[in-house]
Amino acid sequence: MAGFDLGEGLRTVLLAGVGAIATGAEKSQQIIEDLVKKGELTVEQGKSLNEELTRKATKAASETQDTFLRTFLERMSAEERAEYARKVADMSSEIDARTTTVEIEVEEATDEAEAEEPEANENDEA
């Protein structure tokens, strides 16, 4: 597996599966909305049905991804899987570092905004 890149065919199959699930969820939501408008379902029944369909679609997409990943990994040698795992761990660490940086920046901006608020409130009261 040169470079551990996903084959274009496998990638297309995965994306097609996820796309089909998403399209099915959107169509089912439209049908539910139409039934609610016609009065054949209450709004509450429609919301409940939509939540259930969304949950099932999300579960199906996750299972599809798991199956795809398992097939992908089974085609690798033990050494290739170890290298792939290292690459994924590195990517995960990089993403975590970026996320942490963004969270710190948001916290700092929030702290600054909160520090400025009392001054504005004191001026309003005067």
Q: What is the 3-state secondary structure (H, E, C) of 32-79?
A: HHHHHHHCCCCHHHHHHHHHHHHHHHHHHHHHHHHHHHHHHHHCCCHH
pLDDT of residue 66: 84
Q: Where are the domains of the chain?
A: 1-75, 77-126
84 neighbors 3 (Cβ within 8 angstroms): no
16 neighbors 56 (Cβ within 8 angstroms): no
- Please tell me whether the overall predicted TM-score, pTM, comes out greater than 0.75 for this model: no
pLDDT tens-place values along the chain, 126 residues long: 445 455 666 667 677 777 777 777 777 778 877 877 877 777 778 778 878 888 887 888 788 888 888 888 888 899 999 998 899 899 889 988 887 777 777 777 777 777 776 554 555 554
